[in-house]
Structure 1
Amino acid sequence: MIKRKLMMVERIMYVDPETPVNCIFSAKIKGELPEQNFKTALEKIQQKHALLRVVIDSKTEKYPFFIEEKEIAPIPLRIVERKTDQDWLTESQKEWKILFEEEKTPLARVVWVRGQDVSEVFWAIPHCISDGTTGVTLMKELLQLLDNPALELEPYEAFTSVDEFLPSNFNVKSKKFKAKLYLTFARFFFMLQQKSKKRNLGKNYVLHQKLDPATTTQITQKCKANGISVHALLCSAFMQAFQEVKGKEAKGKVISPVDVRHFIPEIKEDHLFAFAPTVDLAIKKGSSDLLNNAKQIKEDLVQKIGKMEARELLWMGEQMHPIVDRMISMLKSSNGGHDVTLSNMGRINIPNDYKNFSIETIFSPTVAFPWLNSNTLVTSTYNHQMDFIFLSNEDFLPKAEAAKIKEKAIALMTTS
């Protein structure tokens, strides 16, 4: 039976029992989907992933914990009749705000925006059990089972503590001293911070844009010709666009999450997991040499990833539970030192064609953060089309400004 405390990073994404932070992963499907196949598919997916059979108890102990619910309800399916191409986006924004609070209900929902020949299907999952790779996995499994309900999925053992990821030579004694030092510094830092009452009271919004295959190819060829990665070009273009639109208010820095599975192979690609370690990437203030900035970012990223100690980061996070509430409070009230959190998922590894339907496209995930600086860009590529999701809050970054930033950045990436 599963019973474990939420990791520090899971607690940050959980926030508290009253704040929903839900990730939405959507696919557009051409063809007929038999309704009865959904029930079988969702049952099998729930049996495979232990985290889809738990609830969060935030009342019984000092810190919230996952606990397996023996009488867990099936993953709910909500069906909406499709009227326009934008219904999936409207429905996904509704799902941002709905808590997973009902007793004995799993931490996942599926919505089917049902049309005659075209449908959108999406997962809504709390961020505290899900990163981008999780969304891809759940979508891939759902599509496989909708096409072939006889398919069997292999369950896996859920981890019970981050200690399971520690190498045999991990010196807990010396690391505990380091952790105590960090915790003391952190407490002192928070003590010095003036309590800010600033909060985002405006409306969360999403800007969506999908590039056609020709424009997407143009970007990838530009990167190849200049020896840079698409991720580095994205970072460079968006930081420059922020500078052009926001002027002196621009920070010239992005926060970039990295898939933890690169560092901890025990966490398999098809395992549900929420922690993505991040790297800070910056450009020189006022610098507008797009390609040079991208080259510098690529070098910086390679260097920072090379030095990353993900196992230690996970363990160290577990020593920081006493200050998590203060971290969350700061995220809700601080402007932060970055322009945007930029998550590039790269090529989405989901097949196009199935026996009974085909996938027209996959959309980059959306999520509405409760942070003051909620600027988030998620990009992905599917079927030779790059997809952009830009999310923020009207209070922090007006939607019209965000649209200008997105347009400028894409123009920078596509002009030779």
Structure 2
Amino acid sequence: MMKRKLMMVERIMYVDSKTPLNCVFTAKISGVLQEENFKLALEKIQRKHALLRSRIDTSSEQYPFFIEEKEMTSIPLRIIERHTDEDWLKESEKEWFRLFDDDKKPLGQVVWVKGQDVSEILWVLPHCICDGTSLVTLMRELLSLLDDPSLELDSYQAFTSVSDFLPSDFNTKKKVRKARFYLLMAKLFFLMQRKSKIRNLGKNYVIHWKLNPETTTQITDKCKAHGVSVHSLLCASFMQAFQDVQGSKAKRKVISPVDVRHFIPEIKQDHVFAFAPTIELSLKKDIHDLFDHAGQIKKELGEKINKIEARELLWMGEQMHPIVDRMIKMLKSSNGGHDITLSNMGKINIPSKYQNFRLETIISPTVAFPWLNSNTLVTTTYNQQMDFTLMSNEDFLSRQKATEIKDKALELLTSSI
């Protein structure tokens, strides 16, 4: 039975027992689905992934622990009658604020927005147990099992601590000195910070849109012609849009998460895992052309990815547990040094055709961060359509301003083609 301490990044995404922080990932289906198949599918998925059989214990130890429960109930299925094409959005916003605080219920739920011929399926998971790749895996598994409940999933051994990912030649003694120095510097940093009582009290929101296949293909082709990535062009476009709309308030920086599986192959594509190293990228002041910006960002991203020591980052994080609460307080009260967190999940690897239904489209994950700077953009590509969800809080960035930034970024993107 699994019992392990939450990693530092998991603790940050957990926040605390009273604060929900959930990811919601949506798929739109055409065809007829069977309720009994949902139950069979969710049972098999829960058997595969230990985190979906676990609760979070905050009372027995100094720090929170994941504890696998023998008597855990099945993953709940909430069924809502579908009336409009926007019902999924209302349900997504509701699920942002679900607290997974029942020790006998799993850290996950599925919502079925059920129509006669069209449905949306929403996976709802606390961010402390999943990243974007985890969400894609769970949706792929669910759709496969809904179509054919006889399929079997291969289970995997849950890791017991970050030490499981450390190489045999990892010099812990040498790293301990470095960790102690960083911890001391962090404590001094927090001591010097003024305590801020500023909090987001406004409403969280999401703005969702898609690009048609023609525009998506044109952007992809233009990026290839200029030798840049779609991700670097998106970063350049949105940073420039923030600059154009917000002027001197803009930070000219984005934070970009990277899939940890690139660095630690023991964490497989189909494993549920929460840690994603992040990279800060910036607009250079002496560059004016959008594709020149994208080229510089691509170069900067490549250089920083090559420097990531993911195993050491995981281990170093474990030495920072004494200051996690202060990190969370700072995130809740600090403007941060970036305009937006931009997560590009790329092409989604889920089949579109099944025996009994069709996957019409994927909607990028939504999330309502409790941080003061809650600006988040998530993008996915499915069936040659780029999909975007832009999220923030009215107190920090009004929906009107966010819409202006989105429109400006699209103008930059499409004028370049």
Provide TM-score, normalisation by structure 2: 0.99
Q: State the distance in 2 between where 1:60 and 1:288 align.
A: 56
Deviation at 1:59, TM superposition (A): 1.4
1:342-395: CA deviations, max 9, x gaps? 000000000000000000000100010000000000001000000010000000
Q: State the distance in 1 between where 2:112 and 2:38 align.
A: 10
AA matched with 2:110: V
Gaps of 5+ in 2: none
Deviation at 1:102, TM superposition (A): 1.5
1:78-133: CA deviations, max 9, x gaps? 00000000000100100000100113100000000000100000100000000000
Q: State the distance in 2 between where 1:36 and 1:56 align.
A: 29
Provide TM-score, normalisation by structure 1: 0.99
Residue pair 1:252, 1:285 contacting (<8 A) in 2 also: no
Counterpart position of 1:3 = 3
Counterpart position of 1:100 = 100
Gaps of 5+ in 1: none
Deviation at 1:284, TM superposition (A): 2.0
Listed as ranges, the matches of 1:244-323 within 5 Å are 244-285=244-285, 287-323=287-323
AA matched with 1:309: E
Counterpart position of 2:217 = 217
Deviation at 1:178, TM superposition (A): 0.2
Residue pair 1:9, 1:317 contacting (<8 A) in 2 also: yes
Deviation at 1:222, TM superposition (A): 1.0
Is structure 2 residue 396 aligned with structure 1 residue 396? yes
Listed as ranges, the matches of 1:10-409 within 5 Å are 10-285=10-285, 287-409=287-409
AA matched with 1:256: S
Deviation at 1:255, TM superposition (A): 0.3
Q: State the distance in 2 between where 1:300 and 1:67 align.
A: 40
Q: State the distance in 1 between where 2:286 and 2:51 align.
A: 46
Q: State the distance in 2 between where 1:305 and 1:12 align.
A: 22
Residue pair 1:259, 1:276 contacting (<8 A) in 2 also: yes
Deviation at 1:10, TM superposition (A): 0.1
AA matched with 1:214: E
Residue pair 2:56, 2:103 contacting (<8 A) in 1 also: no
Q: State the distance in 1 between where 2:98 and 2:67 align.
A: 21
Q: State the distance in 2 between where 1:217 and 1:111 align.
A: 32
Would you say how many aligned residue pairs link Structure 1 and Structure 2?
Answer: 416
Residue pair 2:26, 2:123 contacting (<8 A) in 1 also: yes
Q: State the distance in 1 between where 2:212 and 2:378 align.
A: 17
Q: State the distance in 1 between where 2:86 and 2:286 align.
A: 38
Q: Structure 1: which 4+ aligned runs deviate by more than 6 Å? A: none
Q: State the distance in 1 between where 2:374 and 2:288 align.
A: 25
Q: State the distance in 1 between where 2:157 and 2:185 align.
A: 37
Deviation at 1:218, TM superposition (A): 1.1
Deviation at 1:287, TM superposition (A): 4.8
1:161-220: CA deviations, max 9, x gaps? 101101111100000000000000000000000000000000000000011101111110
CA RMSD of aligned residues (A): 0.7
Deviation at 1:397, TM superposition (A): 0.3
